[in-house]
Amino acid sequence: MKCLAIAKKDLLLELRSKNMINFMILFSLVTLVLFSYTMSFADLQSIAPSLLWFIFIFVGMLGLSRAFIREKELGTLDGLKIAPIQANSILIGKIIFNLILIYAIQIIIFPLSIIFFDISVKNPFIAFLVLTLGNFGFVVIGSMFSIFIINAKVKELLIPVLFLPIATPLLIVSTIALKKSFEGLVISNEIILIATYIIIMSTIAMLTFDYALEE
């Protein structure tokens, strides 16, 4: 699968240079420490789900766009465009890469946050599922919107402006779901909503990515 080749290439590049992942982990750690230092445990327990998603989204926003910005900067995006591959393969490849990146960060940060914030997680498997699904939604949108960013002026400032409003539904439901998973409650409604979000947004992305690349 050609999209896998693209994902693999990006992973290889990232492993060699580590310029994105180091930054993202550092950013998350600093934020984590900052919040656990400045807020009481009681407050933290209640806002932890929102805070965690907040950290992951911000880190994600900065990191996800890099995948495409780097291609444009290096000039290699054209090299991908003239290859006999479906335009969607490029998007899927980037999504896979970004997913792996975000997971890598979460695997480190999530356990640390449990320690720092002293939160109790009643159902870790469900929490993991929530993180997985939420990630997927954010990564699809973030990867797709990166195409808009590379064509715009003031790239970095535009990322949160474009991303956050449209990601708001996902953020709301994911936060509720994460919080419920900490408390061990049922989250079937939330899962359905997140899945709906992912399906709708992915479909639009797959249908329109071709148009996004053409000139």
Partner 1 sequence: MRNRIIYALSYIFLLTGSYLSLLVLKPEKTLGEVYRIFFFHFPLAIVSYLAFAVSLVLSIAYLRSKKMRFDDLASSSIEIGLLFCVLATITGAIFSKQAWGAYWSWDPRQTTTLIVCFIYASYLALRSAIEDRETKARLSAIFGIFAFFSVPLSYLSTRLWFSLHPTMITSKGMKLEKDMQIALLVMVIGMLFLYVGLLSLSSRIKKLEREGKTFYTKS
Partner 2 sequence: MKILVENLTKKFSSVIALENISLSIKEGEIFGLLGPNGAGKTTLIKILATLIKPTSGRVTIDGLDIVKDKHKIREKIGLVSHETYLYEELTARENLEFYAKLYGTEKSVNTFLKKVGLEDKANVLVKNFSRGMKQRLAIARAILHEPEIVLFDEATTGLDIKSRERFYSMIKELRDSGVTIVLSTHHKSEAKLCDRVAYIEKRVLKIGEVHEVLGDS
Residue with token string 């071709």: 210
Sign of CA dihedral 47, 52, 53, 54: positive
Sign of CA dihedral 17, 20, 23, 25: negative
Residue 189 interacts with partner 1 (CB under 8 A): yes or no: yes
Residues 6+ apart with CB under 8 A from 67: 10, 94, 97, 98, 143, 146
In angstroms, the Cα distances linking 128 to 131, 148, 194, 214 are 5, 31, 14, 38
Using the contact rule CB under 8 A, the part of the chain among 34-42, 98-106, 117-125, 154-162 near partner 1 is 154-162
The binder of 172, among partner 1, partner 2, none, by C-beta within 5 to 8 A per type, is partner 1
Residue-wise DSSP of 165-183: HHHHHHHHHHHHHHHHHHH
> Which residue of 40, 75, 84, 214 would you call a contact of partner 1, by CB under 8 A?
214
The binder of 78, among partner 2, partner 1, none, by C-beta within 5 to 8 A per type, is partner 2
Residue with token string 């080749």: 5
Binding mask 83-102 for partner 2 (x = CB under 8 A): xxx-----------------
> Which residue of 3, 7, 61, 193 would you call a contact of partner 1, by CB under 8 A?
193
Are 183 and 120 spatial neighbours (Cβ–Cβ below 8 Å)?
A: no
Report the nearest approach of partner 2 to the CB of residue 9 (Å).
Answer: 5
Using the contact rule CB under 8 A, the part of the chain among 11-19, 45-53, 95-103, 136-144 near partner 2 is 11-19
> Which residue of 33, 41, 46, 76 would you call a contact of partner 2, by CB under 8 A?
76
Are 101 and 56 spatial neighbours (Cβ–Cβ below 8 Å)?
A: no
> Which residue of 151, 156, 183, 186 would you call a contact of partner 1, by CB under 8 A?
151
Euclidean distance between CA atoms 75 and 2, whole angstroms: 20
Residue 34 interacts with partner 1 (CB under 8 A): yes or no: no
Q: Classify the phi-psi angles of 183: left when phi > 0, otherwise alpha if psi is within -120 to 50, otherwise beta.
A: alpha
Give the residue with the Cβ less far from partner 2, 95 or 133: 95
Using the contact rule CB under 8 A, the part of the chain among 9-17, 82-90, 96-104, 150-158 near partner 1 is 150-158
> Which residue of 152, 156, 184, 186 would you call a contact of partner 1, by CB under 8 A?
152
